[in-house]
Structure 1
Amino acid sequence: MIIDRWFEDRRAALACMTTALLIGALSLGGESLTELLRYDRSAIFAGQWWRALSGHLVHASVGHTLLNVAGLVLIALLFPEPLPLWRWAWRLLILSLGISALMLWRLPELGWYVGLSGTLHGLFVLGFWWLFRQGDKLAPLLLIVLIGKLVWEHFNGPITSNEALVGVPVLVEAHSYGALCAVIYLALARLGARLSAPRTNTGDI
């Protein structure tokens, strides 16, 4: 089983742990720091561009924080991809900024947003792709589960228990945007790999 490869290379676990520690450190700043860093539409248009990234690293409650940290742990266990830390950071950056860009474009009524759940959905898609490339039979099943979850949320709204744990309404659009950004990321990475094939053909993304 692919999860056994976690014991061969710990870089995925290190990357997830680093992200979790950053999220935990930011949570110690309390509500005032959260308000300073959260995605805020009017503040972003006023020039506070960092919120498009930092908004995904702060959370509404302890339960919200723990839920997303648990998501990071699950990613580390399911997808022990041997990525250098800089490439993990690059993925976080691209997915988070992509989600924020889509929220600015598609959700003008959204005043503010916090949480990593959208980015996590994107990371799951990237993980499924890596599993598929490894020939793991678990990948298609996991992808079907994720698609089913997104479809359910689109038509029925968020899972009630999750919303109660988070403490604020769950923005299901962020989940779909995260998955979409991951698909675009993969498509562009594949295109870049093909264009640079005469020079290198590592396939790393």
Structure 2
Amino acid sequence: MTSLGQYLGLSGVLHAVFAFWALKEALEGRRSSWLLVIGGVVKVGWESIYGAPVATAALIEANVATQAHAIGLIAGLGLALYYHYRR
């Protein structure tokens, strides 16, 4: 796998893990975690509409994988909902 492929995978997985734990905690009653869920959705939505910040691309010296972020977010939220309702 190329380094870009590894980067895409890591980026998506990080967004999925963040979304999963934020929504899991929110659904378990930790009200402040809803701010994390909303923040994640707004961040990925912003990236999808306007693109990633130029400063972020400069910092990591690569293009930002906004599609991987969106897929990871959706996967994490979906898994958290599945986990919550299966319990």
Taking structure 1 as the reference length, the TM-score comes to 0.37
2:66 equivalent to 1:172: yes
Is it true that 1:152 corresponds to 2:46 in the alignment?
A: yes
Which residue among 52, 57, 75 is the counterpart of 1:163?
Answer: 57
Aligned to 2:16: 122
Q: Which runs of 5+ in 1 are unaligned?
A: 1-33, 40-54, 60-113, 194-202
- 140-149 or 128-137: bigger deviation: 128-137
1:169: how far off? Answer: 0.8
Distance change in 2, residues 1:190/1:141 (3 Å): closer
Residue 134 of structure 1: how far off its partner (Å): 3.6
The higher radius of gyration belongs to: 1
CA drift at 1:175: 0.5
Q: Supply the AA of the counterpart residue of 1:181.
A: A
Q: Give, as a single letter, the amino acid of the residue that structure 1 aligns with 2:21.
A: G
Q: CA deviation at 1:164?
A: 0.6
CA RMSD of aligned residues (A): 2.3
Pick the aligned partner of 2:31 from 137, 155, 158: 137
Higher normalized contact order (CA 8 Å, seq sep 6+, divided by chain length): 2
1:172 Cα deviation from its structure 2 partner = 0.4
Q: How many angstroms does 1:182 deviate by?
A: 1.6
1:152 is displaced (CA, Å) by: 0.9
Q: For the residues of structure 2 that align with 1:173 and 1:186, how far apart are their CA atoms?
A: 20
- Residue pair 2:9, 2:68 contacting (<8 A) in 1 also: no
Return 5+ residue gaps in structure 2 as ranges: none
Rounded to whole Å, the distance in 2 between the matches of 1:186 and 1:134 is 11
Residue 181 of structure 1 and its aligned partner are, at CA, apart by 1.2
3-state SS of paired residue (1:168): coil
Q: How many pairs does the alignment contain?
A: 87
- Give the letter aligned to residue 72 of structure 2: G
